[in-house]
Structure 1
């Protein structure tokens, strides 16, 4: 099971999401077909572009409350995100929370045009990624 976690501003375009997600998948050596879940904050899960990307790619959409995300330990928390959203991480926390306690982050947050993407999978970490 591979999960893509996304953090984005309101009104993000589906095309921009696709570019950011595809870049992260390429960096992790994965393809669209390797992914089963797109996870994000509940306030972003209602965004048309997020829903469109999940549907078009055949991924299940998982919406997580800020309190759930805030309870997830992440390697790269952000004070700015915490102040704006109520959790120090969206992309990394969503990916890790959705994959569950037996999972691990395989690509830390990557930023592209105001979109943050992280990837987690069920199973142990297979590579040590530099902290962005």
Structure 2
């Protein structure tokens, strides 16, 4: 009978990896292209990117909180895709996938995908992920 109510839709934690200065519009376009904009519990990223204006504005546009993790926390997560370049730059071989897994508490729904230079991944989110 029509669309499912929002509370019954599956939710995902969206991990985002960006370079400093990435603008909100590009971040939202990348997220939309990869996972859509419905059912997002939070945006998750590296702690030093969490206060980036683009990340904050993208989260506000999507109506979700930003969850931040240290490089050490992210590096401890076993992920499918790693990058030596990212590891050298920020101290962890994965930002988007690892952040999505830590924030969501579930399994990877969409692995590391790059759109317009923004790295996006999503993991299923438990009910407590958006709390």
Q: TM-score range by the shorter chain?
A: 0.7 to 0.9
CA contact (8 A) 2:103 2:125 kept: no
**TM-score, with normalisation over the residues of structure 2?**
0.84
CA contact (8 A) 1:36 1:58 kept: no
1:76-107 CA deviation, whole Å, 9 max, x = no partner?
A: 1111111111000000000001112xx10010
User: Aligned runs of 1:23-102 on 2, under 5 Å?
Assistant: 23-25=33-35, 31-100=36-105
Match of 2:31 among 21, 25, 28: 21
Match of 1:118 among 108, 117, 121: 121
Matched position secondary structure for 1:109: strand
Match of 2:108 among 105, 110, 115: 105
Matched position secondary structure for 2:38: helix
Q: CA RMSD, aligned part only?
A: 1.2
Matched position secondary structure for 2:107: strand
Q: CA deviation at 1:33?
A: 2.5
**TM-score, with normalisation over the residues of structure 1?**
0.84
Rounded Cα–Cα distance in structure 2 between residues aligned with 1:78 and 1:119: 17
1:31-72 CA deviation, whole Å, 9 max, x = no partner?
A: 422111110001110100100111121111101111000001
Report how many residues are paired. Answer: 116
Superposed structure 1 runs of 4+ greater than 2 Å apart: none
The gaps in structure 1 that reach 5 residues or longer are 26-30, 124-132
